[in-house]
Structure 1
């Protein structure tokens, strides 16, 4: 099953390179997508249309998936990790990709190529062509059999592979807190980046801010305050 949340957490399901369903978002307007794509009102229909645009133009959830792209915004999680690797601040990144799940890589181009198109990836089916493309760009797919997303196991793999300072994207406080524990047991330094946080609770926001290094506010009132 392929599910991604985008444009105000509209939960969009994709099958056979087609949008099957999209839920109502929790916001009505996004300044970023208004500027980039001219979307004046965020609705289930506009979220579905944007997902279809990504499928058609970027090959998301398909064997045509593009794994290279330029900078989308100057402040995104993938852009930050790409810059961090290039500058030597981090050695690698543990992130996700549709068609693959959790991916570990030290290739800054791959980090941006995968992450620049993604909003909140919840589930994905493995796609052999996508995983092979990732492998050719020096990426490691954590679970090629099922495309599982597991950032904690991805971080453990990165530590076991010899990376001593790396970034990990997470979407909830519990994962961030678990990564801090892994830091202690594995003797590594983890740059924790909180992503896809629109609509989180005040308690979740407080815990995430305490555990993470970088937190993207998205449309979260509690993160901003």
Structure 2
């Protein structure tokens, strides 16, 4: 049986088995401006979450053997979109990310990055979907037999495979120490950290993630937003801000802005997620 657990809209945890939503926890965030602006969703409820996730399953095969993996870039500003631009511009040569049915993987095609990362929320747990493995290539998967999610092993595999400018998506503060160690042990390799899914991180977790990152998203996180607003050297977006912590991170945000024609005018009273957690 194929089983996948996703941290979805409003930090609701969704369990999917064999292409069907079987369990949904109560959302911890009531309002998300992204889902309001794009879907007209004014309040996140268990029913809304279940409907949205089942739509994704039916529409592009999320968590099924029919998963559509590629998607063309569209003019928005998110972590997946930034990494697409960096691959296009040869600023990076690989992305370590997570795909349902495969776990931690290495990707080098911009359309794969967008199709994988732009379509699915935080993946907590997954199990193998054999049909997807040839699409990614066994040599690009940390563990094809278990679909293990392990970003440290993903970076190690990317280094072993010869990549020198590696972007990695990270959600767990526990990965920070391992990333620092890999940076020290591999001075000839650039490891660029993109922190995602930061909602409900403790002050200590947000601190560890921000300290290790080049770019971080604010999500609905009161703690990441507090640090980012104080220490970011460049911030893009207001409702869901994206923070640059390093000069490389700043450069990456600017490259994406150039691709999409610049930043939108700032609002005096932007919509924010509610509550921040």
The verdict on a shared fold, with TM-score over 0.5 as the criterion, is yes
Q: Which residue in 2 is equivalent to 1:181?
A: 181
| Structure 1 residue 155 corresponds to structure 2 residue 155 | yes
Q: Which moved more, 1:155-164 or 1:126-135?
A: 126-135
Q: Which residue in 1 is equivalent to 2:96?
A: 94
Decide whether aligned partners of structure 1 residues 106 and 139 sit closer, same or farther in structure 2, where only a CA change above 3 A counts: farther
Q: Which residue in 1 is equivalent to 2:216?
A: 215
Distance 2:156 2:145 in 1: 19
Aligned-residue offset at 1:139: 7.5
Aligned-residue offset at 1:33: 0.8
Aligned-residue offset at 1:47: 1.2
Retained in 1: the 8 A contact 2:73–2:111?
A: no
Q: Which moved more, 1:183-192 or 1:64-73?
A: 64-73
Q: Which residue in 1 is equivalent to 2:172?
A: 172
Aligned-residue offset at 1:153: 0.3
Q: Which residue in 1 is equivalent to 2:236?
A: none
Distance 2:26 2:34 in 1: 19
RMSD (Å) for aligned C-alpha atoms? 1.5
Aligned-residue offset at 1:90: 0.8
Aligned-residue offset at 1:198: 1.0
Residues 177-213 of structure 1: CA deviation (Å, up to 9, x unaligned): 3112101112311110110111111121122111111
Residues 65-124 of structure 1: CA deviation (Å, up to 9, x unaligned): 001113366222211111111111111000011111111121222111111111100111
SS of match in other structure, 2:140? strand
Distance 1:194 1:51 in 2: 23
TM-score, normalised by the number of residues in structure 2 = 0.77
Q: Which residue in 1 is equivalent to 2:53?
A: 51
Distance 2:199 2:73 in 1: 22
Structure 1: gaps of 5 or more residues: none
Retained in 2: the 8 A contact 1:13–1:22?
A: yes
Q: Which residue in 2 is equivalent to 1:124?
A: 126
Residues matched between the structures, number: 223
Distance 1:69 1:57 in 2: 13
Structure 2: gaps of 5 or more residues: 227-277
SS of match in other structure, 2:114? helix
Distance 1:125 1:72 in 2: 29
Distance 1:156 1:134 in 2: 17
Retained in 1: the 8 A contact 2:195–2:215?
A: yes
SS of match in other structure, 2:124? strand
Residues 7-33 of structure 1: CA deviation (Å, up to 9, x unaligned): 121000000100000011111000001
Q: Which residue in 2 is equivalent to 1:202?
A: 203
Distance 1:9 1:112 in 2: 21
Distance 1:64 1:106 in 2: 21
Aligned-residue offset at 1:147: 0.7
Distance 1:175 1:210 in 2: 12
Q: Which residue in 1 is equivalent to 2:235?
A: none
TM-score, normalised by the number of residues in structure 1 = 0.94
Distance 2:139 2:108 in 1: 7
Residues 122-158 of structure 1: CA deviation (Å, up to 9, x unaligned): 11111111122223xx981221101111110010010
Decide whether aligned partners of structure 1 residues 33 and 117 sit closer, same or farther in structure 2, where only a CA change above 3 A counts: same
SS of match in other structure, 1:113? helix
Q: Which residue in 2 is equivalent to 1:70?
A: 72
